[in-house]
Copies of this chain bind each other. A is one copy, B any other.
Amino acid sequence: MNSEFTIAVHSLVFLANLPDHRASSESIAYNICTNPARVRKIMSTLRKNNLVRTKEGLGGGYTLGCSPAEISLGLIYRVISTGTLKPHWCSGDPDADCIVKSNIQTVMDDIFTESEQSVIRHLDQMTIEDVLKKVRTAH
């Protein structure tokens, strides 16, 4: 899976944990241990899906688009990571004569898509609020 999913979840949990739910890309990046440009790129995608609100200019930054209890990890996955379960490398060759060699790609594609669906169904049961609770109670 994509590490952008990690960054998206971490960013949202970080915002949820702040009293005013507001932060700049620089402070988020510092908390995540990455660079601001990468955070901005991912937050930009989240904004297009209404998971965060962004404000440019002086005093701008990022705020949560809705309550932490309303943001499921499944939604974040769908927005950020759809298709990343499947490995980049493919076996076989669609133009070959052997049915295994020629058809395996289609079949494996289905398997990866279905597997991804089962991950999403699992992630749908967890929200940013749940993750924040776990972070707060982690030993």
Q: Is the CB of A33 within 8 A of B92?
A: yes
| Known A5-B87, A122-B115: A100·B31 in contact at CB below 8 Å | yes
Instruction: Give the dominant DSSP class at A's interface.
Output: helix
In the complex the two chains form, what is the Cα distance from A139 to B134 in whole Å?
47
Q: Which residues of B contact A106 (CB under 8 A)?
A: 138
User: Do A34 and B91 have beta carbons less than 8 Å apart?
Assistant: yes
B115 touches A123 (CB 8 A): yes
A104 at the interface (CB under 8 A from B): yes
- Cross-chain contact B107 with A131 (CB below 8 angstroms): yes
CB distance B91 to A33 under 8 Å? yes
Contact with B along A1-38 (1 / 0, CB 8 A): 11101110110011001000000000000011110000
Would you call A6 and B100 a contact (CB within 8 A)?
no
Closest 6 CB pairs of A and B: A3-B87, A3-B89, A103-B138, A118-B122, A32-B91, A10-B91
